Amino acid sequence: MSEAERIIGTPDSPEGAGAEPEQSSGGDGQGSTGERPRGKRRIAVLFAVAAFAYALDLISKMIVVAKLEHHEPIEIIGDWLKFEAIRNAGAAFGFGEAFTVIFTMIAAAVIVVIARLARKLYSLPWAIALGMLLGGALGNLTDRIFRSPGVFEGAVVDFIAPKHFAVFNLADSAIVCGGILIVLLSFRGLDPDGTVHKD
């Protein structure tokens, strides 16, 4: 074999020109780099949904405090649905008014857990559900911190008053809708990381 043949290699040789380069299947391969942008997009959806829910809740409460508080309720659908401004020191839908500080701590803990879970988030439905939970928790936590009677003891502004039901706000609605979606996803076996399991 000549020196040139030894360097180039024969067509049947593993080192020959016909041999294809090996592709790494490790964590830095194409599959890994493809997963990272997908995860970042899901996190972006989570925070976009949270920001939207938070903004709607904050704006609605500002309008209610400025235009509706200390005024007569506004009938939307007769006696079945009214807008009536109240201050709620308890949890969602007016429950547990004696535990305002505890509910404030729970809301803060929920926000921390969601933020930590976001690092492993690869499911779009989970991103939407957690975004609603985060936006709702932030909305009510803002009231707890900044409204009277004091920091971490503030009363939440509620104004949606259906007949024969507790008065609530848009943050409560976001929390409930997010919770229902999480239950449905769990029943379907879909995990936040995008995997599907069957019990």
Tell me which residues are annotated as active site. 158, 172
Look at residues 128, 93, 101, 98 and name the one whose alpha carbon lies nearest to residue 114: 128
- Between CA 197 and CA 191 the distance in angstroms is 8
- Between CA 51 and CA 56 the distance in angstroms is 9
Q: Where are the beta strands (DSSP E) in 96-155?
A: none
Look at residues 45, 137, 22 and name the one whose alpha carbon lies nearest to residue 91: 137
